Amino acid sequence: MRVLITGGAGFVGSNTADTLLKKGYEVTILDNLSRKGTEKNLEWLKNNHKDLEFMKADVRDFDVMKSACMDKDLIFHLAAQVAVTTSIKNPKDDFDINALGTFNVLEAARLSKSNPIIVYSSTNKVYGNNVNLIPLKISNTRYEFDDPNFENGVPETLSTDANEHTPYGSSKYMADLYTRDFAAVYGMNTISFRMSCVYGTRQFGNEDQGWIAHFVISSILARPLIVFGDGKQVRDVLFIDDLLDALLLATDNIKKTRGQAYNIGGGINNTISLLELIDLLKKSIGKNILYSFSDWRPFDQKVYISDIRKAKQDFGWEPKISAEEGIKKLIGWVGENIDIIR
C-alpha cells in the first residue's frame, strides 16, 4: 500500500511513518521542516528505514500536492499550524496552512482518480466556545463537567456553531467540514479525527503546543514553567501508540468510517490537570518542579474531555495506555534522548 503522510517529520507523523514502514507499507513523507524537532525526527526515520521517501515541500503548493497524491492509496494529512496563540498573531498563515492546505490535499486526491483513504487530523477546537458553556464544578486540583449529559465527555453531536473559535479553530473547522463534504459530494474516502491532547515519544513540546511534553522536558532540564490560569484546567490525554491504533483501525473499517468525524482522545478514564501533572512529575522525576502562574490565555478551555464511544462503536477502538503509564514512558524517552532535546 502506497502511503503519503503530510507533516510526516512531526511528532505524530514520524511515529506514524515508523509504524507503517515496519508493517511493510511504501511510505512517502512530505514536510517543510519548519517546526523545531522535525529535522531530528527525519534523521531518525532515515537511519531506521532506508526505503523511506522524503519530499521537502509545503501543502500550500497545489502543484506539488497533485504530484504527491497522484498514486497514493492512503493519505494521513497531519501538516498544520498547530498553536492557537500563533493563529491570533498571524491569522493569514494559519488560514493558508490549515484551510487552504487541507483543500489542496483533498482536491489533489480527488483529481488523482485513485480515491485514496484520507484521514484528516482535526481538533477539539472545532466546537468553539460551546465547550465553555458546559456547567463546571471545581475541586482542589481540577475543574470537572457538572452536567450529567457530559458524564462521558464531549460528543461529536455538540454544536460547532458558535463564535470564539479563534482563527486556529476556524481554519481547522473549515478543513474538517471540507474533509467530510468531499466524502458526501464526491464519494471520497475521508475521515476526520477531532483530536484532543496527544503526547508521547519524539514530541518536542513547547509552551504553545504539546504541553505534556513541554512540562516533562522543562522539569527534567530544571527549566521554570509558566502555568497560565490557575492550573486546574483538565484535558483527556492520549499516548501516541493508542492514536496509531486508532488511525489504522479507522482506515481498516472505511465502509463504516467514511465521511465521519470522530472525537479521539484519552476519554473520561485518562484525564489530568496541569497541577496534577506537576505533582506526578515531582514524584516520577524525584525533584522539585519550578513553576509560576500567569494570566489566563485567550479562549482557553477550563475542561475538555473527549467522548470516544463513537470510535469504539464504529471501529472497535479505545485507549490501552493510562495517563500515568504514558507519561512515565515519555519521561523515560526524554531522559534517554536529552542530548537531542536540549
Catalytically active residues, by annotation:
168
**155: number of Cβ within 10 Å:** 15
- Pick the closest to residue 204 from 10, 8, 5, 6 (CA basis): 10
CA angle 44, 49, 50 (to 5 degrees): 115
Q: Is 182 helix (H, G, I), strand (E, B) or coil?
A: helix
- Pick the closest to residue 177 from 66, 107, 261 (CA basis): 261
With contact defined as beta carbons under 8 Å apart, do 3 and 51 qualify? no
CB-based burial label for 44 (10 Å; 0-12, 13-18, 19+): middle
How far apart, in whole angstroms, are the C-alpha atoms of residue 106 and residue 190? 9
Ranges of H-type helices in 156-269: 166-186, 211-220, 240-252, 254-257
CB-based burial label for 41 (10 Å; 0-12, 13-18, 19+): buried
Helix axes 62-69, 101-112, angle to 10 degrees: 40
